[in-house]
Amino acid sequence: MEIKFETIVMFISFITSFFAIFLSNGIIIGVPAIAQDFVMNNVVQNWIPTIFFLVVAVFTVPAGQISGKFGVKKSLLAGIIVYLIGSIGGCLSFSTESFLLFKIVQGIGVSFLNVSSMAMVVQAVKPQNRGKALGVTVTGVYLATSLSPVIGGFLVHNLGWRSLFYFVIPFLVLCMILMAVKIPQEWKTYENQPIDKLGSILWGIGILTFIYGFTSLVNTRGVILTIVGIIILCIFGVYELKQSFPVFNLNLFKNNKFTSSNIAALCSYFAIMVVTTILNYHFQYVRGWDAQMSGLILVITPIIMAVMAPNTGKLSDRIHPQKLAAVGIGIAAVSLGILIFLNEGTPLFVVVLAMILQGIGMGLFSSPNMNAIMSSVPPKYAPTASASQATMRTIGQTMSLGLLTLVFAWVMGNLKLSHEYATMIVQASQTICLICFIACIIAVFASLVGVHSKDEFNTNRNH
């Protein structure tokens, strides 16, 4: 009976993880069509994926405390409902402003999906099966990443970009039914704790100001906002350390394994998230391919990750997860090293080789790294640890896309992305890949620091 229940939990986590990622990743294929429909320049166009991840970054930390207080199941259902509203709104958008508004709504919903689904897995699955279960969850993420370019490319090419949103709706309804029927339990680890409202506000303002400023570093206002954001986040940190019931328990970072794994996650997602967009721009704007063809090629990397994730997750139950993570992100660094030289004349087989190496590297990194984060704290802190890894992932992804906006604005100004400016697109892409390569190297060292830490994992095994 217990095994059957764990299987159900893993399946629901897989489904919710898949559709939490599907639109956020699939929308990249539809960006050129959306930009054309609403007449966007390249700066506004790049904000389509960025604003979503920015909202997720703002709401993920408070989502951890809220899910712990009111229940993981309730929070997961609430996240699905809000995401559903955002998806329906996306179908009906009639302007740039309305479209971006519903992307914000979607981001709020996904904040709760990310935190609650992961916390549910950690609390419902036995420690000795945790790596396997987290690997299944990561597989949902990577399958969505791999299938969304193919499905998204087909839908956008044949039915228009709005069909992306219509496609998601029935699956979100299915998730709601599964949660209501198959999960009778509720997990409340912070039930008697008050919500840290001021801490949530400080975090939201700080991270919003910092990332928005980061995307505008080419002007004085962006520099000022970035500095102000850092100051507010420092104030947030000082305030949280003085609270009995903080929205985010910073004392968890006294555990070196927890800290090093989070740093590695932040750097890895910063380095990798932007690669799909870079390659999509290369295929559509530099090589002149359509969305459907681009989507078929972009499937290579995530499908490899999807195949590897459950196996490396299971493997991390037996081998030190941070050793596996270090090797994985090192391989991903090699792939970025190749893409630094990506230009109009790069043979397609070289691009495909880089994509394969990235898939192998991230497939070897992600599940073990997530297992290291979630296993380095006691189960009662699962919502906070889940919020932490989701926040690192989201901040890394948002800053990655912010880097995209920043570099393209620096190189191209307000010019519209098109084949006419292929040389500028290549220049911007090479600069971004160089910066991301350096981030991967930092992630390798962060993982190795965790390997040598004397802190113990919260499992029944010694790694």
Over residues 47-69, the pLDDT tens digits come to 777 788 788 888 888 888 888 78
Q: What is the pLDDT of residue 459?
A: 53
| Rounded mean pLDDT, 181-195 | 76
- Where residue 463 falls among pLDDT bands split at 50, 70, 90? very low
| Rounded mean pLDDT, 213-238 | 87
Higher pLDDT, 226 or 26: 226
The answer to whether residue 29 scores a pLDDT higher than 80 is no
For 117-130, the DSSP string reads HHHHHHHHS-GGGH
Over residues 328-346, the pLDDT tens digits come to: 999 999 999 999 999 988 8
Give the whole-angstrom CA distance, residue 118 versus residue 139: 13
Q: What is the pLDDT of residue 145?
A: 67
2-184+247-451 — its CATH code? 1.20.1250.20
Over residues 139-151, the pLDDT tens digits come to: 777 777 667 767 8
Higher pLDDT, 216 or 457: 216
The residues, any chain, with a CB within 8 Å of residue 293's CB and separated by 6 or more, are 153, 283
For 322-383, the DSSP string reads HHHHHHHHHHHHHHHHHHTT--TT--HHHHHHHHHHHHHHHHHHHHHHHHHHHHTS-GGGHH
Contact 443, 267 (CB under 8 A): yes
The answer to whether residue 457 scores a pLDDT higher than 70 is no
Over residues 62-91, the pLDDT tens digits come to: 888 888 788 888 888 889 899 989 888 888
- Where residue 458 falls among pLDDT bands split at 50, 70, 90? low
The answer to whether residue 419 scores a pLDDT higher than 50 is yes
The answer to whether residue 323 scores a pLDDT higher than 80 is yes
Over residues 271-299, the pLDDT tens digits come to: 988 888 899 888 888 888 877 787 778 87
pTM: 0.75
Contact 38, 410 (CB under 8 A): no
Give the whole-angstrom CA distance, residue 8 versus residue 192: 29
In a 13 Å sphere around the CA of 45, the CA atoms on its Cβ side amount to: 26
Cβ atoms < 10 Å from Cβ of 402: 26
Q: Determine whether 254 is exposed, middle or buried from the number of CB atoms within 10 Å of its CB (0-12, 13-18, 19+).
A: exposed
Q: What is the pLDDT of residue 461?
A: 41
| Rounded mean pLDDT, 210-219 | 79
Q: Which of 13-17, 249-253, 350-354 has the highest mean pLDDT?
A: 350-354
Cα–chain-centroid distance for residue 244?
A: 30
Contact 429, 278 (CB under 8 A): yes
Give the whole-angstrom CA distance, residue 282 versus residue 293: 12
Structure tokens at 109: 């919903």
Give the whole-angstrom CA distance, residue 45 versus residue 205: 24
The answer to whether residue 197 scores a pLDDT higher than 50 is yes
**Degrees to nearest 5, angle at CA 439 with 206 and 414:** 65
Contact 141, 21 (CB under 8 A): yes
| Rounded mean pLDDT, 444-455 | 77
Structure tokens at 81: 């409902």
- Where residue 356 falls among pLDDT bands split at 50, 70, 90? very high
Q: Which of the residue ranges 242-246, 350-354, 360-364, 452-456 would you say has the lowest mean pLDDT?
A: 452-456
Q: What is the mean pLDDT of the chain?
A: 82
- Where residue 396 falls among pLDDT bands split at 50, 70, 90? confident
Q: What is the pLDDT of residue 462?
A: 39
